[in-house]
Structure 1
Amino acid sequence: MIFALVPPDHGAAIPALADSSSAAGMIGSILVIAVVVLIIVGGYFAQKKRAEQLMRFAQAKGLTYEKRNDAWANMDWGYPFGAGRAQKARHVMTGHLNGRPVVTFAHEYTTGSGDDRRTVHTMVTAIQIPRAFPKLEVGLEGITGRFARKLGFKDIELESEAFNRKYKIQCDNRKFAYDVLHPRFMEWMTAIDSNGFTIAGPYVVIHRTGRLKEQEIDANFAYISAVIEHMPGFVWANAR
């Protein structure tokens, strides 16, 4: 048997070694995707757990729970309603307290875009009353005050200078504002360091910056009930 040496074919393709930088880049991309998936899945289960927790809380309080109902996000209740875009109402709890319809929920709206995109969270609580009144907004400077002035509302000055320095009052019906915010009412609000309130039609509403906190719900309802009790009797008699 004769063996012949075959010279190497210099034109033949040489197998390429794997590019380590490309492999590292692929692994990095896979890790990024995996992290994103974990965040999404983790967020979903966290939201699900939170919804179940709040549902149990609402049931214990005799309230009805809805995970989301954006009809409540579009109420004409002053700030934060009408601010930003993509308004949402999450974790909506409705029911009755001392015969009055009540609601509390987590309000959200979005501002900015891209890297400047931001979601603003507010806890909203309201009690429905048997009369419809003109809109009256009483809020601290920097929250209701600036927002209302952007919409063209002017501040109302009351008898108490201390109250005027602390609060901004907006109301189209100045007489109604003066009637509601009588001296004892202003003294009470100042004494408890109140953040204010809004009367809008047949609702008395308050909002608190931040996410919904179930441990604050009872106190919020109690505060609104106290606001209602401080409204003088002749105001109710003159209401439609």
Structure 2
Amino acid sequence: MPAVIIIAVIALIVAGAVLGHLAAKKRREAMLALAARLGLRFDPGKSRDVARRFEFLDKLRQGSNRYAFNVLSGRYQDHDITVFDYHYETHSTDSKGRRQTHHHYFSFFILHLEASFPELKIGPEGFFSKIAQAFGYDDIDFESHEFSRKFCVRSNDKKFAYDVCNARMIEYLLAHPDLTIEIERDSLAISFGRRLKPEQIEPNLQRLVQVRSLLPEYLFARS
């Protein structure tokens, strides 16, 4: 009986590996087709260079063994963009002292800005942001109580935060409550806590460009 169980477990592991390989292959093919349609470059390989180039963004500084893959890059609607799947690892120890590795994957979208800006983070209000506030890391409040209740906004430059979170931006974000935005240096980024399906990439590229269009042009004129 134990031998049968061992064989069954091995068969399940092999089947899982095969299915995972086929799913990854299908995803690469779909993203390659998307890149061809949008006139973008596509590199399916692991890229630690991309991870290092943008590591000033908080979302890309987590964990270890960080790398981007399935990288789309080029010009989209007159903007330089980079889109990629992202991986990092964290570790924990179970009750028996055994070290466990946890793999995390998500999708990341970056648009190159024509000027450099201070760090600004905008994301849905949640449990961890409330904990941060409890330890003195307050977010920035706005006249829109609904926006302040639903989103956490943090920046050392409050004037910049108010400029970015203008009335039109607030209206847009309230209509798109899943967006997490980070601005720093010459990068505008949106990210998702999971890998998006290939068919979800172009709609979110459009949202990235829309967020850029809501940034006041005077910010670029004075930078």
Q: Distance in 1 between matches of 2:107 and 2:219?
A: 28
Kindly indicate whether the alpha-carbon contact (under 8 Å) linking 1:206 and 1:224 is maintained by their aligned counterparts in 2. Answer: yes
Q: 1:152 to 1:119 in 2, by over 3 A?
A: farther
- For residue 78 of structure 1, the aligned residue among 49, 58, 62 is 58
Q: Percent identity?
A: 27
Correspondence 1:201 to 2:181: no
- One-letter code aligned to 2:170: M
- For residue 184 of structure 1, the aligned residue among 162, 168, 174 is 168
Q: Distance in 2 between matches of 1:138 and 1:86?
A: 26
Kindly indicate whether the alpha-carbon contact (under 8 Å) linking 1:139 and 1:167 is maintained by their aligned counterparts in 2. Answer: yes
Corresponding residue SS for 2:142: coil
The within-5 A match list for 1:101-112 is: 101-112=80-91
1:125 to partner: Cα distance: 1.0
Look at both structures and tell me which one has the larger radius of gyration over its CA atoms.
Answer: 1
Q: Distance in 2 between matches of 1:77 and 1:60?
A: 29
The within-5 A match list for 1:104-143 is: 104-113=83-92, 117-142=101-126
Kindly indicate whether the alpha-carbon contact (under 8 Å) linking 1:89 and 1:106 is maintained by their aligned counterparts in 2. Answer: yes
Correspondence 1:55 to 2:55: no
Q: 1:232 to 1:29 in 2, by over 3 A?
A: closer
| Structure 1 unaligned blocks of 5 or more | 1-23
- One-letter code aligned to 1:160: S
Kindly indicate whether the alpha-carbon contact (under 8 Å) linking 1:127 and 1:221 is maintained by their aligned counterparts in 2. Answer: no
Kindly indicate whether the alpha-carbon contact (under 8 Å) linking 1:134 and 1:199 is maintained by their aligned counterparts in 2. Answer: yes
- One-letter code aligned to 1:190: L
How does the TM-score come out when normalised to structure 2? Answer: 0.81
Kindly indicate whether the alpha-carbon contact (under 8 Å) linking 2:67 and 2:86 is maintained by their aligned counterparts in 1. Answer: yes
Q: 1:227 to 1:123 in 2, by over 3 A?
A: same
Count of aligned residue pairs for this structure pair: 215
Q: 1:171 to 1:210 in 2, by over 3 A?
A: same
| Structure 2 unaligned blocks of 5 or more | 95-99
1:84 to partner: Cα distance: 2.5
1:198 to partner: Cα distance: 1.3
Q: 1:188 to 1:40 in 2, by over 3 A?
A: closer
Query: Aligned-pair RMSD on alpha carbons?
Result: 3.0
1:138 to partner: Cα distance: 0.7
- One-letter code aligned to 2:48: D
Q: 1:151 to 1:69 in 2, by over 3 A?
A: farther
Correspondence 1:233 to 2:210: no
